[in-house]
Amino acid sequence: MDKEVIGPGACVLRGFVDDPAEMVRAIADIAASAPFRHLSTPSGAPMRIAMTNCGRVGWVNVRSGYGYAEVDPLTGHSWPSMPAIFTRLATHAAAEAGFADYTPDVCLINRYTVGSSLHMHKDRNGFLKDMPVVSVSLGLPATFRFGGQGNGEPPRSIPLVNGDVVVWGGPSRMNYHGVLPLEAGVHPLTGNTRFNLTFRAGVVKPAPRLGSKTG
């Protein structure tokens, strides 16, 4: 297996997904009950990335802000449960990267189309920081940017293609990362789209009750 170390506790597992088509079908099933939606940026502009979730809680934004919620504000139902193939893949990838006993609680699903990008950020919200982030790429290629803990550290560019998995944990868990604007293309599995699955583990506290007066 092709493992590229990109930092302490961080690596890219090339072509790690055995059956990307099965993963893409599972995404379609999830989206049938929890549709992709465009969240808005703090300035109010809609993001080009569309998102949905599966697992215990989902990443949402409503008028009161961003956070994890147990109920999908779009449908009023809880999020679709995590497919077994997702759990297995994330656990296996984390183990391969050196993190044993990883069971993901949530999976954020991002859908990128041409021009969609993700600004540099840290995955800081609501989860145990000793659990790594596991990030799966499906469909069109993209350039992942992986920086350090500080905003000033120049990020490195890492090309990601269908079936690649990136894991960052340990001393790299709070590193800045982002994705450059998706280039136009057609992928046999996903057409003009890239999907990214981001797994996180360890729900620390009950999900925020978004939309309530107490936040």
Residues at the contact surface with Fe ion, assessed by CB under 5 A: 123
* Rounded least distance, CB 122 to Fe ion, Å: 7
Q: Which two tokens stand for residue 159?
A: 């090309």
For Cα atoms 106, 112, 113, give the angle at the middle one, nearest 5 degrees: 160
Q: Using CB under 6 A, which residues numbered 118 to 157 contact ligand SIN?
A: 118, 135, 137, 144
Per CB under 6 A, the list member of 68, 182, 196, 210 interacting with ligand SIN is 196
Residue 196 site contact among ligand SIN, Fe ion, none (CB < 5 to 8 Å, cut-off depends on kind): ligand SIN
* Rounded least distance, CB 119 to ligand SIN, Å: 10
How many whole angstroms separate alpha carbon 81 and alpha carbon 117? 27
Per CB under 6 A, the list member of 111, 145, 177, 200 interacting with ligand SIN is 177
Closest CA to 37 of 106, 111, 115: 111
* Rounded least distance, CB 214 to ligand SIN, Å: 28
Closest CA to 60 of 109, 120, 128, 124: 109
* Rounded least distance, CB 212 to ligand SIN, Å: 26
31 versus 211: smaller Cβ distance to ligand SIN: 31
SS3 category, 164: coil
How many whole angstroms separate alpha carbon 102 and alpha carbon 37? 28
Q: Which two tokens stand for residue 129?
A: 């920081």
Binding site for ligand SIN (CB under 6 A): 110, 118, 135, 137, 144, 177, 179, 196, 198
